[in-house]
Amino acid sequence: MTAQLGHFTLVLALLVTLYGAVAFLVGSRRRLPPLLASAERSVLVSFGLVTLALLVMEYALVTSDFSIRYVANVSTKASPIRYKIAGLWGNLEGSILLWEWLQVLFIALVVFRFRRRPHPLAPHALGVLMGISAFFLVLLAAVTNPFQQHAPVPPDGRGLNPLLEVTDMLVHPLLLYHGYVGFSVPFAFAFAALLTGRLENEWLTLTRRWTVLAWLFLTAGILYGGWWSYRTLGWGGYWAWDPVENASFMPWLTGTAFLHSVMIQEKRGMLKVWNLVLITLTFALVIFGTFLTRSGILSSVHAFAEGPVGIFFLAFLATVVLGTLGLLLWRAEQLRVPGELDSLVSRESAFLLNNLLLVAFCFTVFLGTIFPLLAEAVRGVKVSVGAPFFNYVNVPIGLALLFLMGVGPVIPWRRASWASLRRNVVGPTATAALATALLMVAGVRGFFPVLGFVLPAFVGATVVMEFGRGMRARRRLQGEGWGTAFRGLVERNRRRYGGLIVHLGVVLLTIGIVGSSTYKLEREAALAPGESFQVGRYTVRFDGLEGAEAPTHFRVWGAFTVSTDGRPGRVLKPAQRFYQGYDSPFASVDARYGLREDLYLILASFARDGSQATVKALVNPLISWIWLGGVVILVGALTALWPGRREEKP
């Protein structure tokens, strides 16, 4: 009964959604308000039906209804309740159901937003969004039914992939999905602008906050994914240029380029086609990433699901790309703009170069990700593209982007004189020179490591200088204190100063990446109880092994006492988890976290009688700065997103 109710609800939601899509497009084209009102109601009905389907699935997961194949694949009777709930996004069918629920939630929010302040573009955009929603409902109703039953009913389920049995997985996928689905809103408005011929800046203005919101969620999802990888996968890193990691990073790159290029169109009326292409590319890369993740076409430690949806995602991707290209050709005459750059030394030039570098970055990631597929298709050989390729190509691009991040905000629009440019960069340049001298004294050598620390100093100085200049002006003109001047400055232009805070976060993140990747220490040793070894300034002593039964697995952990510079410290307990049905154990690392460095222990192997344990120790300098920088980036994005208030005149 549960399975039939869930599937019937999805089929009904598909019919309602198809009606809504047609009603929005016909109602807006023929200007039929009753039909548009009916279409809006269909969104609410669809949201209610998909919500009911999602709740039915959660009920089946929580009650261990193993007559449903999906529940049997992702849950066991002994699974803690939080992992039963998380089973919804633990495999293909459930994750598409979650995606569809978020999709229709965002559509309902768009209806709510424009019901109070109607706009001619909104019905067309809602028609496009309902079309996207209908695609996912077709998958759920006909291709990957999450409520499919099977027989005989097993006495217990298989359970989640052990890598997903961590608290981080309750958060990381949800953040990513919010980002993915969020980008459908600006894409839908761009598509609507092409359909209606309303190609001025209004679609950008209407979707500015939606775009920042989607970018914020996607950024948070990627950062949290790095944190999960660092804590869970047991290899001591946070990013491996894995195909699925790349799949989330590519739309982030083009989305970031879009956030910068829209400012050029708003200020100068330029780059209309470029912006339409960028947001379409961002949404297309979201679909492409889902194809990579869910089709099973590439192997990845992150690809937890695969199924027969690949061809459907490819067809949908082709529809999105070809449909947008067709409309761009149709509207080509309207999209011609007379504007051109007044000077190469201007903010729009810096932003344009920033866009080109971000797209080049994205292209190299795309090429490195799909090259194994191309090689196998053309030459019939399996090849892999690893971190050395991505680092070799992308590190110079990243450093160039960092330089533009420092220069761009301090150059005026249209044209900058050399005198003003010199005046604005002399302080940051002096800071960078001082940083270089300090690095030399500290013994830092090598072109890229030095540049990797000096450029963040340069960018950080421009951010501090911009805040300082604005605050001094407010103090001079309005007599405010430093705190009041800071708040007033941010509230007056949240978008600009939120962006500068994001830049500050990138500075911290870059320092963390350079420090942890350049100066990492690693040592592995086999120890008997009481023996110790040295790694960096730490002494690690093996005290013994213990084991215990957990609800879904057996856990063995080693106790290692860590002394720092000769001072006794805490006991770390890295472990291995053994699951029924899996030949290899899964690591549970333990670490001592700090701003200066992390000490990270991995239990590699052990003797069953407890007489010996092999432990790998890593000292990761400055790695916490990555997470700290991530938090600052999110604070900056929230600042830009937060509604401002008009400042009272004195």
What 8-state DSSP symbol labels residue 644?
Answer: P
Complete DSSP assignment for 5-66: HHHHHHHHHHHHHHHHHHHHHHHHHTT-HHHHHHHHHHHHHHHHHHHHHHHHHHHHHHTT-T
| C-alpha gyration radius of the chain | 27
**Of 368 and 167, the one with more pLDDT:** 368
pLDDT, residue 647, reads: 43
**Residue 254 confidence (pLDDT):** 97
**Residue 490's closest CA among 503, 474, 505, 508?**
474
649's CB contacts (< 8 A; 6+ apart) are none
Handedness of CA 536, 538, 539, 545 (dihedral sign): negative
pTM above threshold 0.85: yes
Q: What is the pLDDT of residue 85?
A: 92
Judge whether 99 and 136 are in contact, CB under 8 Å.
Answer: yes
Tokens, residue 17: 């959604």
Q: 482: how many CB neighbours lie within 10 A of its CB? A: 12
Inform me whether the pLDDT recorded for 297 exceeds 70: no
Alpha-carbon span 550 to 511, nearest angstrom: 39
> Is residue 545 scored above 60 in pLDDT?
yes
| Tens-digit pLDDT profile for residues 448-498 | 899 999 999 999 999 999 999 999 999 999 888 999 999 999 998 899 999
Contact (Cβ atoms closer than 8 angstroms) between residue 589 and residue 574? yes
| Secondary structure of residue 360 in the 3-state scheme | helix
Q: Any idea which of 78-82, 317-321, 327-331 has the lowest mean pLDDT?
A: 78-82
Under a CB-based contact definition with an 8 Å cutoff, are residues 182 and 292 in contact?
no
Residues 628-646: pLDDT tens digits? 999 999 999 999 998 866 5
Please give the distance of CA 486 from its chain centroid, rounded to a whole number: 30
pLDDT higher for 165 or 516?
A: 516
Q: Quick check: bond before 152 cis, omega within 30?
A: yes
CA–CA gap between residue 84 and residue 67 (Å, rounded): 15
Burial grade of 38 (CB within 10 A; 0-12, 13-18, 19 or more): middle
Q: 6 vs 346, which has greater pLDDT?
A: 6
